[in-house]
Amino acid sequence: MAKGLAFVALSLIIGVLQSANAEVPAIFILGDSTVDVGTNNYLPDSNITANFPHNGVDFPFQRATGRFSNGLNTADFLAKFFGFKRSPVSFLSLNGTLAIKKRRFRGVNFASAGSGLLDITGQTSTQKANVVPMGEQVYQFSMVYNDLVASKGTSEAQNFLSKSLIFISVGSNDIVGNHYSKNPIPKEQFIPNLAVVYEKHLRNLISVGARKFGIISVPPVGCCPSQRVSANGECLKELNDQAEAFFSTMDTLMRNLSYENKDIKYSLGNTFNITKPVIDNPQNSSFTDVKNACCGNGTLHCTPLASLCSNRHKYLFWDLFHPTQAASRLAASILFVGDSRFATPINFSQLAEA
């Protein structure tokens, strides 16, 4: 995204922070590693973790919290734009005790790195607690709902959730996993199948009080450093085609769902349209390297022994799969105040007022 739009977006954010925060009592986040703040740290069998250096090198006190980033991720910045300090803590970090209080409880993050819409995504045949799949995250949300009802009563709990925001960033791992499976399902069948599962999860969330959804669609995953390795340095077109198809399918799904449920409000974020122009024309952005990973240099995983770039704010990618803090900030800011090219039918800031 061009410097001009990024500047305008950040300027507009300053003007809407206070009003948006007043309308948002809590934020709930579901999805994968793009918004995970450390869930997998609490899964003993998971090997999909980031609670070690160089992760977190730009986080306060250089803490490796479990975020797949040099600092904050998209969930953190979205929360900050609504007046929160950063993303709410991981559900699993609460050890089953939410301690919901009328004035202090402000949400939970359920996201789990490696997870997807499908229960099998991110799992292995020998490790069934490798990730927390979307279905389990939705179940955890229902547990929060029950605790809210017990604490506040049904009417107040439902009112609380009706004003809260539900951010969901999921789908990338399903698409990549299917592409590299032994018997990949064709795009024309697989993407609609994902939408059916997504709809089931959304309906389950609606049944326990969720009303405002910020849906983050799949970015151009074919351009991640991990995919360029197998495409002679270029973006893997097949994966990008599936990402675009996923957005179109989600657009139809959300339109139909909101038509059926009149009290549902949503913003569908198009991170493909946000990210692909930066990759195609980096000279129009603040990034100078849009192909390689800052940690690991694009061919190796980010580990404490991996090489680390010094100008991290100039890199689009942090590791083989994930954006840098700078890229996450830009994406979140465009989702927050962007026009219909990047969020439809309204943007994320307008969602708070809807």
Query: Which amino acids are annotated catalytic?
Result: 33, 319, 322
DSSP per position, 299-311 = TS---TTS-B-S-
DSSP per position, 74-113 = HHHHHHHHTT-SSSPPBGGGGTT-----TTT--EEE---T
The Cα–Cα gap between 162 and 264 comes to 9
9, 254, 334, 337 from 346: Cα distances, Å: 15, 12, 12, 9
- Other beta carbons within 10 angstroms of residue 77's beta carbon come to 23
User: Which H or E element spans position 123?
Assistant: none
User: In terms of Cα–Cα distance, which of 14, 30, 137 is closest to 80?
Assistant: 14
Residue 323 pairs in a beta bridge with 317
The Cα–Cα gap between 226 and 319 comes to 9
Sign of CA dihedral 248, 199, 138, 175: negative
